[in-house]
C-alpha cells in the first residue's frame, strides 16, 4: 500500500503536467524573452517598439508598419512560440545577436 501511495505521489504530477509523456519541459518566461527580442528587432529595423506577435505567421507587430519574421527554430507558423528549452535558448541567442548588432550600430 505504501508503495502505491509513493508511486502516485511521484507519477501523478508528471502526468498532470504532460511532461512525463511529451519528453519536453515547458517554461513560462518565453514571452518575456520574446518581448525583449521584439523590442530590439523592431528598433533595429526602424519600426519603433514591439507591440505583439502573430503566431499564425510568426511575425512581429511593431509600432510602425512592418512585420519582422521570427526564426523557424523559435516559432512554428500556426502554433506560435512553444516555450520549450530549444525555443528559450533560441530566443536568448536571438537577443544576444540583436544586442551585438545594436552596439555596432551605436558605435557608428
Q: Which three cell numbers stand for residue 101?
A: 548588432
91 domain-assigned: yes
Range of the domain at 88: 27-99
Q: What confidence score (pLDDT) does residue 29 get?
A: 84
Reported pTM: 0.72
85 domain-assigned: yes
Q: What confidence score (pLDDT) does residue 25 get?
A: 53
22 domain-assigned: no
Q: How many domains does the chain have?
A: 1
17 domain-assigned: no
Q: What confidence score (pLDDT) does residue 26 get?
A: 54
pLDDT digits (tens, 9 = 90+) for 40-54: 999 999 999 999 999
Q: How far is CA 49 from CA 11, 53, 63, 66, in A?
A: 44, 12, 5, 11
Q: In the predicted model, what is the mean pLDDT of the chain?
A: 82
Of 103, 31, 89, 28, nearest to 60 by C-alpha is: 31
pLDDT digits (tens, 9 = 90+) for 53-104: 999 999 999 999 999 999 999 999 999 999 989 999 999 999 999 999 999 9
Q: What confidence score (pLDDT) does residue 28 get?
A: 72
Amino acid at each position: 500500500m505504501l508503495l502505491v501511495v509513493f508511486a502516485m505521489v511521484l507519477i501523478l504530477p508528471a502526468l498532470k503536467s504532460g511532461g512525463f509523456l511529451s519528453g519536453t519541459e515547458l517554461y513560462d518566461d518565453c514571452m518575456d524573452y520574446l518581448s525583449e527580442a521584439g523590442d530590439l528587432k523592431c528598433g533595429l529595423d526602424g519600426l519603433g517598439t514591439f507591440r505583439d506577435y502573430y503566431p499564425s505567421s510568426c511575425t512581429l507587430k511593431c509600432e510602425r508598419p512592418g512585420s519582422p519574421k521570427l526564426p523557424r527554430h523559435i516559432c512554428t507558423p500556426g502554433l506560435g512560440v512553444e516555450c520549450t528549452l530549444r525555443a528559450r535558448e533560441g530566443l536568448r541567442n536571438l537577443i544576444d545577436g540583436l544586442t551585438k548588432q545594436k552596439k555596432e550600430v551605436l558605435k557608428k
